[in-house]
Amino acid sequence: MRSGRHSTITVAQREEFWRRYKAGESVLGIIGALGQRSANINRVLEASGGIAPVRRTRSARVLRFTEREEISRGLAAEDSLRVIAKRLNRAVSTVSQDLLHLIKMWLIAPVEEDDGRGGKRRTTPCKDSGRGVPQGSPLSPLLGNLYMRRFVLGWKQRGVESRLKARIVSYADDYVICCKGDVDEALAEMREMMRRLKLTVNEAKTRVCYLPQERFDFLGYSFGRYYSPQTGRAYLCEWPSKRSVQRLIGTIREATDRRIVWLEADEMVRRINRKLLGWGNYFSLGPTGKAYRTINQYAPRRLRRWLCDKHKVHNSGASRFPDEYLYDTLGLVELITVRA
């Protein structure tokens, strides 16, 4: 039995070992002085290759966690970097460099995608190309608004808005130019300003649309001429686009895949309801009747099919899982049309 020998080595003993080791003492002598087992000392030597690790010290210029929290509060209160730096007793350059480093980390963050085989893969397209922002990053709309603000201000200061009666409606990096003047001149002005801002115009998504003869999609809505189903009267308005409806249908289809029949029915309904309510809250403008009817027909049918897969029912399930069971018992949400 080995007495007086420790099975682990503490941080203090590790530092004492390296101090004696660098002073020229033998390993065996250090083992005896520390009362340690030779196996523990050997593991320390193998981990560093027999070279004493350099002790890392935090630079005085590196901001502490509490200071970064104070910066966040200052930015939320719309304080300038100069005011925040003075409050922290720091140089303005130190605060700005820390913010730039944080922005850079967002820009080169990896993106997790489906690999097509049921797994995940991580890619770094923005880091590799040195351009763009990761899709879905919270930094994307912020930077989009910053650049679009410069674009809109320049558009007004150059007199393009008043000269061509062309007003810009933007959200993040998406925008529409409502123009009553020369369309070709407005396009040329837009491309020239984007060139000066060193931004690339997505030509595939850029087109000229003449209202009311044509229609266009923007932020999930379709804009154009619409005919009232009650009176047949034509008027200009917005309504949920066909692509937005199909995207929600695809989301519900993925959520009710037969591979997750292990989920409880109540939890499945809660997940579907969250998607339906979120979608309905956003797409509540204009005539929503047609879009809501499409979704209200698809959601219970898809949920019923999922219940059939879960309970091994080999028919449509209409008799075992009627609409009353889906809506009243399980609590499935039905989108209500506010406007016809």
φ, ψ dihedrals at 277, nearest 5°: -65, -40
pLDDT, residue 132, reads 77
* Nearest one of 230, 232, 212 to 222, comparing CA atoms: 212
The partner residues of 111 in beta bridges, in order of sequence, read 123
* Nearest one of 49, 20, 53, 56 to 36, comparing CA atoms: 20
Determine the Cα–Cα distance for residues 61 and 37; give it in Å rounded to an integer. 41
pLDDT, residue 168, reads 94
pLDDT, residue 337, reads 58
- Cβ of 269: how many Cβ atoms within 10 Å? 19
The 3-state secondary structure of 83-121 reads: HHHHHHCCCHHHHHHHHHHHHHHHHCCCEEEECCCCCEE
Ranges of the chain whose pLDDT falls below 70: 1-7, 55-60, 116, 118, 337-340
pLDDT tens digits, residue range 93-147? 889 998 888 888 888 888 877 776 767 788 887 777 777 777 777 788 888 888 8
Q: Is residue 127 within 8 Å of 108, Cβ to Cβ?
A: yes
Nearest 5°: CA angle at 307, between 303 and 312? 150
pLDDT, residue 167, reads 95
Residue for token pair 């979608």: 279
Residue for token pair 């989108």: 335
Residue 206 tokens read as 């850029």
pLDDT, residue 173, reads 83
The dihedral built from the CA positions of residue 179, 181, 183 and 184, taken in this order, carries a sign that is negative
